[in-house]
Amino acid sequence: MSNPPPPPITTSTPAPPPSQPAASTPAPPPLPTMPTSAQQPLFVTPPLNLSVPAASTAPAAAPSPRFRDAYSVLSWSATWGEDWYTCLKEFAAFENLQGPPEHRLPGYKCPIEITDWFNDPDHDHNLVISDPEHFGERLTTWWRSMQPDFRGPDGIELITNGPKSEWGGLRRAGRNSIFIFVLAMYWWGRAVLSSAPLSVPESAAWHELVANVIWVFRYFNGSTTKKRKTNPGRTSPPVTSSASSRTKKRRTAH
């Protein structure tokens, strides 16, 4: 009777003794998180300022579940990074500082997807962005179209000497106003940041818009710095747009 054949040669790592734990594949590094203080919920209750003026006796309107859910989504997305968290924090402060909402944002140049979503009676869902680059360009165009003239021809110059009275079209709190724009930024960021591989140019454009919106919220909230000093007795700083400055220079030259 012949001996049984030897066991086949294997290149796998032998199993460790029972007293030693089996080797495992190293876990991927954890995603960066915000500081502990930043992980607190932004909206303990949704900051929907739906109260009516004190002179009115009408009951306050109750926020719809759709917008309560949307605020929860925004609060959850605060883990996207420090700039987005700061944007949401300033947005929450803006909502809590403003009076009762009265108007919607200007619809001129608003991306059609946002208009369709808002007008859809069954829109308790996220807007899916199929073309993040094109959507981001149109969203940025809409943002620029709502800026006052003193921010420059492109509506993005960070000028701090303009009066808040010129922000009437944008300085609007409530569920029908700038909240919709912040929600649209969330949709765009969700499409960009979840793409694989990550589109660096689109991500940079998204972060650039977030930084610009942060500045505007801080301007509204009174937390911007280096404001121009005014003469005694003035109630508001003078407005000096880039166009008027160039005109004065040409007149001086002649």
Q: What is the pLDDT along the chain (254 residues), one digit of tens a residue?
A: 555 555 444 444 444 444 544 445 444 333 333 333 333 444 333 333 323 233 333 333 334 444 555 566 677 677 788 888 889 888 888 877 765 555 666 667 888 888 888 777 665 667 888 888 899 999 999 888 888 877 766 555 655 556 666 676 676 666 667 888 998 999 999 888 776 555 666 788 899 999 999 988 888 888 654 433 333 333 333 333 333 333 344 444 44
Contacts of 69 (CB under 8 A, 6+ apart): 124
CA-based nearest residue to 47, from 61, 73, 76, 68: 68
Answer yes or no: are the C-beta atoms of 216 and 159 closer than 8 Å: no
Token pair belonging to 127? 């807007």
In angstroms, the CA 235 to CA 254 distance is 33
Q: How many CB atoms lie within 10 A of CB 221?
A: 16
Q: Specify the pTM.
A: 0.58
Token pair belonging to 129? 């962005």
Write phi, then psi, for 72 (nearest 5 degrees).
-65, -40
